[in-house]
Chain A
């Protein structure tokens, strides 16, 4: 009898503990789950050339936008040829090998900072994609608008690609554009981890009308195998995040996961912007026989945040490394914006976009690591208060890293004293 009382008491305590912990965690169970870790993600930019990363192709018949002639750009902005050449001279001490030439920012009207005030200069022009093929998703459900996919699907909405697809940063075959290489290398080396949970209610995961797909952050880093590839089947705990999370409703058809309703989500963007806010997000992913997951998630993202991301990454560096005048990016995004959250008549603050994803099978655990996830839920309520980490170990102000020794600005003295006096005496 005494043994029974003890056992009952222990069972009651355990049951109380279990119910308490379950109250803090999502508890529903799907019939099936598939879990993954994103090993590669990049903006879906269809490459229309056969080889290379800059060659002419059906997407960009003149090839990638060429590197600007920066001396000419500066002269057009009002600098003398001598000043322009000196600003671009590597021997100029005001040109930092790390942060670039700060004075490059000041080429707007009255030498305004073109990064913070891009309309202070006329649109320098960024040649847009002129091809008719694009990767991505039909976001508006209208097959009469947008591109055609490489497989012949009509109505692909991807104006982000249209605006920036001929920019060197984004142009290139899968996994080979300079932007994709840079940001994915950072992710794969531990900068961030995204896991995906797919869960369904039906008996056949390949064909299920009631599927949910969850995108979550994990603080567990990916592991590389001996060849430097991301290893599959490692374990990741979901890290509840107040910002980065996305839950979408879908169905599966022969292993293809297709949205059934749009959602508003926020993912970790492989870019300097970091925040990939997607309104009316949809997805089209495929569960492959080898256990991997590949496809697209897309929606309408705020375009100004994209522009600011590049500016905050140091406009002076981005412009020369990626062959672009940032005001041209501003104008291109604004010109191609195609969505307004307030309705068809509102200001177009968002642009259609798709992210191409490759994911590997992985074990995804509940945040406390106690068990594998068994459903797709929101964990935002469990998230700690958001604390954004700075992007760089230096302070970027208005697109430049100020150098007190060589102050840049509308009134900066450009030429060294000896050169200036020689110039005046001529």
Chain B
């Protein structure tokens, strides 16, 4: 049977004297019998996110590891600091042994590790990356058809907002730092409920789009009269204009109905405390909001910071903060690791477990939202006591719509962290053949986990 309608069809017409087009909901006839792909073969959208936590996990020079499984491939054992991932283990791949390679550049503590992972090059100075973070490349590839190209979230309750997403290497994204702020961003002014029967295009968006269109009309004339340098600047400018137009056009279309999209009530303001339980609660609340934001198609790309590289989190009642403990706690000779540091690392990972469980709790087709996500989680350091950038813990969570052969442990001692970054980019469909610079330049994704 040939379909007379397909999922790309828009209903076009006039509303209050204005031409509009309205998308059609995801009807069953558009989906295959398993509810995982559209009938024309296109898959449900894959979302991508980064998840960052500070201070690594426990794997010491004296041989005490608390997170690296001994078994590789499928069926890896749950190590003590990965206990929180048990419920979603089959959807999480673990990467051990990967390292940042400075090519002679000194290790900038609590910075070089994640800068290498995100930008592909060890930075020359603290506070800056030497290349854009790769999440921006993914956002360019898959983030243009939603209201927000990317959502940046910082659950750390740090003194200053924390974000490691950058297009310039100099300025970093401004994240939402409270559940209420995230709620307002996702579901506050400008949000269009896809399940509402009274949907109308927002006149303020239409006005903004018309202004941009007027600018666009003058583009050809401007470009023709400009020199080469100015043409490059104008091209960059109009590229951003086009992106904004796309975003606004998305909001002028009636959003697809979505059963799993439930608009949550606004959360209450939470107390500003970086205690480990507060940060965990913050992470859980913001993960829930993010999950709904994703399923309500507000964005397809996000960056989530649990704690900064120099984590400020602490156990209530203790005078030492977690960061301090990683440095000052001696290694227990019998155990081979720092017991309190390991305990705290386990608590920090509980928040990551909560985060994934929230995404896995949202049904989508025959699977869950997590099945249609790829979340790359990583830290700034391997062995935090000495700020090592060897063996930085990294995870890929979610099945990326079936592209990620999840649930494996990949061990590659001495390999560059950029191999995992490249793999993530390719799994979500970013047009990237290689990633990184110098010794971290790689064109070798981790094929074992790619379907």
> Which A residues form the contact surface with B (CB < 8 A)?
51-55, 64, 67, 70-71, 88-91, 93, 97-98, 168, 175-176, 178, 181-182, 185-186, 189-191, 220-221, 224-228, 320-323, 393
Contact = CB atoms under 8 A, between A and B. Distances in A.
Given A97-B310, A97-B312, A186-B107, A52 B333 contact: yes
Contacts of B385: 178, 181
B319 A323 contact: no
Given A190-B104, A226-B414, A185 B388 contact: yes
Given A185-B388, A228-B414, A321-B328, A176 B104 contact: no
Scoring A90, A181, A190 by chain B CB atoms within 10 A of each residue's CB, the highest score goes to A90
B61 interface: yes
14 contacts: A51-B334, A52-B330, A70-B319, A90-B275, A90-B314, A97-B159, A176-B62, A178-B330, A190-B105, A190-B106, A221-B103, A224-B414, A226-B415, A323-B328
B102 interface: yes
Residue among A51, A70, A185 facing the most chain B CB atoms (10 A cut-off): A185
Contacts of A322: 328
A128 B387 CA distance: 29
Contacts of A321: 324, 327-328
Contacts of A53: 330-331, 333
A178 B327 contact: yes
A181 B314 contact: no
Contact of B61 (A51, A176, A186, A221): A176
Interface in B238-254: none
A236 B140 CA distance: 43
A329 to B, nearest CB: 16
Given A90-B274, A182-B387, 15 more contacts: A53-B330, A90-B319, A91-B274, A97-B311, A97-B312, A175-B61, A181-B385, A185-B107, A189-B102, A189-B107, A190-B107, A191-B107, A225-B414, A320-B320, A321-B324
Contacts of A97: 158-159, 274, 310-312, 321, 323
A393 to B, nearest CB: 5
Which one of A53, A93, A97, A178 has the highest number of Cβ atoms from chain B below 10 Å of its Cβ? A97
Contacts of A320: 320, 324, 328
B310 A98 contact: yes
A228 B107 contact: no
Q: Which 8 A-B pairs have the closest CB atoms?
A: A52-B333, A221-B104, A226-B414, A51-B333, A189-B107, A90-B314, A97-B312, A88-B319
A185 B311 contact: no
Contact of A186 (B106, B273, B319, B331): B106
Given A181-B385, A226-B413, A90 B334 contact: no
- Taking residues whose C-beta sits less than 8 angstroms from the other chain, chain B's interface range is 35 or more
A393 B318 CA distance: 29
Contacts of A93: 159
Contacts of B125: 393
A165 to B, nearest CB: 15
Contacts of A227: 413-414
B449 to A, nearest CB: 21
Contacts of B115: none
Contacts of B413: 226-228
Contact of B387 (A67, A71, A185, A225): A185
Contacts of A64: 330
B114 interface: no
B297 to A, nearest CB: 37
Interface string B95-115: 000010111111100000000
Contacts of A67: 328
A393 B124 CA distance: 12
B389 interface: yes
Nearest to A88: B319
Nearest to A193: B104
A405 B331 CA distance: 37
Given A91-B273, A190-B107, A228 B390 contact: yes
Interface in B370-424: 385-391, 413-415
A206 to B, nearest CB: 33
Given A71-B319, A97-B321, A228-B390, A189 B106 contact: yes
A190 B102 CA distance: 8
Nearest to A67: B328
Given A185-B388, A189-B389, A321-B324, A52 B331 contact: yes
